Structure formats: structure tokens, C-alpha cells
């Protein structure tokens, strides 16, 4: 088994990603298990921030690391909250506070103006100085609801209505969400890349 470190202390995210990687011979641990400090996300894109987080985890643990940077983007708000999704309502904001701010900022939008998408960029680094990290991305399209619905998931899931469905992301069974979400799409591609790496080398 290969041990990978997830550059996050979010247990909901850890469980979700572990389920997506369950077909690989890997054990996924949270960086918080190693006392890794949070990285300073100074990037201007999801790709840059994911690389910063993965490199930070690899530096402190000396282990291969996984990171993702994800968020929700509202087209009518020029892509907000985007890379600031986790701290939209301020540093240390709760999910409820972030959701509340987004609802406040979009209450005037109707119809197609409520179109949005979840974006995820997933990164794998073999070590801190990996010159060729694996980078994959996924996009999940939908629209904003007027009020939260559902108790599953985390983040903005309660106000995201995926295209083609009549339930919010927070009302979906974990198995379904893990098959169609932005994170699922990104990590599905990452799994294929990791499988190739595992099959061709002794270490990933």
C-alpha cells in the first residue's frame, strides 16, 4: 500500500476523496494528522493554489501528496466566489456564513442569471520538488437555489442544483454525488494517471 497525504484537514473532503481513490492500493491521511500548517494560498487560479497546497504538504511530511482547489463560480458575478469560495465571508468563515453571503449577493438574479458551476483542480506531487505533477480538472454545472436544501455534503452543496436533477447537491446520496461531481470528474482522471504511475514504477 502507498501512503498519500491529503493537503487538507477537512474530514468531509477526506472521506469523499478516499472513496474516489478506493480502487487504488493507497492509504489517504489528512495533513492535519501530521501537524502540517495550512498553506498560504497566494495563487490567482485553482491550479496555482492546488500546487501550493500539495507542495506544502509534501514539504512537511516528506510523503507524496494530493491536493485539490475547488469552489463555486457564478457567471453573473464574473466567477465569484471562485478561488475565494472557502473564505468568501472572511477568513475562518463557516459554510453557513459563506452560503449566506452568496445568497445575499445573488438574491436579485433570476432565471439563467443564476447559472453557476463547481470547479475542481486536483494535483498529485511525488515530492516537494516534483517537476511534473499530475494535474486534472472537473467542472459540474448547475444553478443556484434561493435557499439551502439538504443535509448531505458540505460547503455550497445545499444551494447548488445540478443540471438535469431536481435535488440539491446536499440532497444526493454520497454514491451518486461521487459519480457526477466536479471532484469526482477531476479525481476520476487523476486515478487513471495514478494507476499508470503505479503500474510502471515501484513507487508513485
Q: Catalytic residue positions?
A: 69
Asked if residues 58 and 64 have their Cβ atoms less than 8 Å apart, the reply is yes
Distance CA 4, CA 63 (A): 7
Distance CA 170, CA 161 (A): 9
Residue 145 burial by Cβ neighbours in a 10 Å radius (0-12, 13-18, 19+)? middle
Backbone angles phi, psi at 178, to 5 degrees: -70, -5
Asked if residues 4 and 66 have their Cβ atoms less than 8 Å apart, the reply is yes
Among 114, 120, 88, smallest CA distance to 187 is for 120
Backbone angles phi, psi at 63, to 5 degrees: -130, 155
What would the 3-class secondary structure string for 20-54 be? HCCCCCEEEEEHHHHCCCCCCCCCCCHHHHHHHHH
Amino acid at each position: 500500500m502507498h501512503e498519500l497525504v491529503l493537503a487538507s484537514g477537512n474530514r468531509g473532503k477526506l472521506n469523499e476523496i478516499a472513496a474516489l481513490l478506493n480502487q487504488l492500493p493507497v492509504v489517504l491521511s489528512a495533513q492535519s494528522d501530521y501537524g502540517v500548517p495550512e498553506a498560504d494560498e497566494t495563487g490567482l487560479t485553482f491550479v496555482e493554489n492546488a500546487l501550493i497546497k500539495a507542495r506544502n504538504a509534501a514539504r512537511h511530511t516528506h510523503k507524496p501528496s494530493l491536493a485539490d482547489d475547488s469552489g463555486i463560480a457564478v457567471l453573473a458575478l464574473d466567477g465569484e466566489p471562485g478561488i475565494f469560495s472557502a473564505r468568501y465571508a472572511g477568513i475562518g468563515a463557516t459554510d453557513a456564513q459563506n452560503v449566506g453571503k452568496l445568497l445575499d449577493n445573488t438574491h436579485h438574479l433570476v432565471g439563467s442569471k443564476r447559472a453557476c458551476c463547481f470547479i475542481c483542480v486536483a494535483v498529485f506531487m511525488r515530492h516537494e520538488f516534483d517537476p511534473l505533477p499530475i494535474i486534472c480538472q472537473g467542472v459540474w454545472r448547475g444553478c443556484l437555489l434561493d435557499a439551502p436544501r439538504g443535509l448531505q455534503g458540505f460547503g455550497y452543496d445545499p444551494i447548488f442544483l445540478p443540471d438535469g436533477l431536481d435535488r440539491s447537491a446536499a440532497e444526493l446520496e454520497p454514491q451518486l454525488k461521487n459519480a457526477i461531481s466536479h471532484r469526482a470528474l477531476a479525481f476520476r482522471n487523476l486515478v487513471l494517471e495514478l494507476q499508470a504511475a503505479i503500474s510502471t514504477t515501484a513507487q508513485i
